[in-house]
């Protein structure tokens, strides 16, 4: 990341056709970790998320629920908004909805600029469409007649006259953009490069209103609404006030460092389509696309609302605590590769690493400190260079492993020195100092836990019940 004093960080916008699932929680938490760390470095951060609320999938889901589409998206938008404080996400996060009037005006203005620059045209076509992905599928993306991701859904055949984006005009420019480690990890960057090198095809960016009414109207053509992805991607700049208020846009997008988190199934949309759209509109590109692997269920199958194999993050957080959920997402799930999530695995990790691990360590250390030290230990905190380097490269899991290695070292130190026998104040002071550094390091990952540890040390009091063991 650059030394810029401003930082822009955004998640993808969850699609509100059903309740939040663990994949959403993962992306919120990881983006929050980087946001909190950047603030610790003294940067002013604009942190963005929100909800994607247009498209056929939502229209159909609302009909099945017997609700108006607006009532339907309002309901789920509130659930996603409520998930943020539940997960201890930074309070100053901005929340944009693609049904907001401000966003819809921005999407229309974006369309006008791309069109006036000569990158939108109209033609008749026929294609195969996955409602689950809300995207067209080429033959290479189809397995046994279905989308490779949403294997439970039949593909739809669309045959109509729509507006198209000249995606094919941006191959060389995109490859130039990718020269600077634009997509992380490298494996996703290479996949995107190969996709672009194979040759880009123009894609449809509108739908006939008579077939799909729920969308942003196409400027100058009441018969069409915008294709959901073309509309939704604009949120990354509409949330900053573009085009009506350019102060924040210039401050965080132009002069800052726009970083976008997404899942690997979004890489093409974020890393190629959106970047070409920005070029077509004459606007600066993002600086980094950080791609998460999938959270999988049993058998390594992607956790997806469409597949019905999701785990409810609210249920898990209620049972084990939001901080435990943040721990699991940051340490037990691979940063860039697919990882399984099961309740049993979560519980085992909770008891071993939080209840018996960190929680027990804090309790033992502070009991000795309260008993044998006359006053609190004062510690000057500095963020460890190893952690800085790892987070600079978005290596969240490795950073957490580094912290847990320090926890293990402190445990070993205590076992060797046996302060409960020696009552050595120098040793106990060193224990508290080491614990204080651990607590400080946890701040971006587990902010409430970090706060409790730091406060216990400042007050020289036992911190009890940090992570009570769960046996049931």
- State the catalytic residues: 21, 24, 130, 133, 147, 150, 302, 305
Q: Which residues contact 454 (CB under 8 A, 6 or more apart)?
A: 436, 439, 440
Distances, alpha carbon 262 to alpha carbons 57, 393, 402, in Å: 20, 15, 25
Query: What secondary structure letter does DSSP report for 287?
Result: S
Neighbours of 377 (CB within 10 A): 17
Structure tokens at 233: 């991607």
What distance lies between CA 358 and its chain's CA centroid? 26
Nearest to 72 by CA among 87, 86, 84, 57: 57
What interhelical angle do 447-459 and 360-372 show, nearest 10?
10
Instruction: Give the end-to-end CA distance of the chain in Å, rounded to a whole number.
Output: 44
Rounded to an integer, what distance in angstroms lies between the CA atom of residue 7 and that of residue 1? 9
Helix (H, G, I), strand (E, B), or coil: what is residue 215?
A: coil
Alpha helices in 204-334 (DSSP H): 228-232, 235-238, 246-248, 267-268, 274-281, 313-320, 322-327
The C-alpha angle with vertex 84 and arms to 315 and 265, in degrees rounded to 5, equals 85
Angle at Cα 363 formed by Cα 358 and Cα 367, nearest 5°? 150
Give Cα separations from 214 to 222, 225, 227 (angstroms). 13, 8, 10
In whole angstroms, what is the distance from residue 96 CA to residue 10 CA?
11
Q: What angle do CA 354, 358, 362 make, to 5 degrees?
A: 135
Q: Phi/psi of residue 187, each to 5°?
A: -60, -40
Q: What is the DSSP annotation of 258-272?
A: EEEEEEGGGHHIIII
Rounded to whole angstroms, how far apart are CA atoms 17 and 77? Answer: 10
Dihedral angle sign, alpha carbons of residues 32, 464, 398, 191? negative
């Amino acid at each position: 990341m650059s030394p810029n004093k401003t930082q822009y960080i955004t998640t993808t916008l969850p699609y509100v056709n059903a309740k939040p699932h663990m994949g959403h929680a993962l992306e919120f938490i990881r983006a929050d970790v980087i946001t909190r760390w950047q603030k610790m470095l003294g940067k002013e951060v604009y942190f963005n998320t929100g909800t994607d609320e247009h498209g056929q999938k939502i229209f159909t889901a609302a009909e099945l629920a017997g609700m108006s589409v607006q009532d339907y998206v309002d309901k789920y938008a509130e659930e996603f908004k409520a998930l943020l404080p539940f997960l201890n996400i930074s309070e100053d996060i901005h929340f944009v909805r693609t049904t907001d009037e401000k966003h819809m005006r921005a999407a229309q203005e974006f369309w006008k600029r791309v069109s006036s620059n000569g990158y939108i045209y109209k033609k008749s076509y026929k294609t195969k469409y996955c409602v689950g992905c809300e995207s067209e599928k080429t033959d290479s993306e189809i397995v046994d007649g279905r989308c490779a991701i949403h294997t439970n859904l039949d593909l739809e055949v669309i045959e109509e006259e729509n507006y198209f984006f000249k995606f094919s005009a941006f191959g060389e420019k995109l490859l130039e953009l990718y020269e600077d480690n634009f997509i992380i990890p490298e494996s996703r960057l290479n996949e995107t490069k190969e996709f672009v090198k194979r040759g880009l095809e123009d894609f449809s960016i509108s739908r006939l209103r008579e077939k799909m009414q729920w969308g942003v109207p196409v400027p100058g053509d009441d018969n069409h609404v915008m294709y959901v992805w073309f509309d939704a991607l604009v949120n990354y700049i509409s949330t900053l006030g573009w085009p009506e208020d350019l102060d924040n846009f210039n401050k965080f997008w132009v002069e800052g460092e726009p970083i976008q988190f997404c899942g690997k199934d979004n890489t093409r949309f974020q890393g190629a389509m959106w970047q070409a759209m920005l070029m077509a509109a004459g606007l600066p590109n993002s600086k980094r696309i950080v791609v998460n692997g999938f959270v999988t269920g049993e058998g390594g199958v992607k956790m997806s609302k469409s597949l019905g194999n999701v785990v409810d993050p609210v249920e898990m957080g209620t049972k084990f605590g939001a901080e435990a959920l943040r721990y699991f997402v940051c340490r037990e799930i691979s940063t860039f590769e697919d990882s399984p999530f099961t309740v049993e695995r979560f519980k085992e990790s909770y008891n071993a690493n939080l209840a018996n691990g960190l929680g027990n360590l804090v309790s033992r250390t502070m009991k000795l400190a309260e008993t044998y030290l006359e006053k609190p230990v004062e510690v000057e905190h500095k963020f460890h260079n190893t952690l800085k380097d790892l987070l600079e490269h978005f290596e969240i899991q490795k950073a957490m492993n580094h912290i847990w290695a320090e926890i293990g070292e402190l445990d070993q130190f205590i076992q060797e020195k046996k302060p409960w026998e020696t009552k050595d104040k120098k040793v106990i002071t060193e224990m508290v100092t080491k614990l204080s550094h651990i607590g400080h390091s946890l701040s971006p990952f587990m902010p409430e836990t970090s706060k409790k540890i730091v406060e216990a040390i400042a007050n020289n009091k036992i911190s009890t019940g940090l992570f009570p063991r769960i046996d049931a």
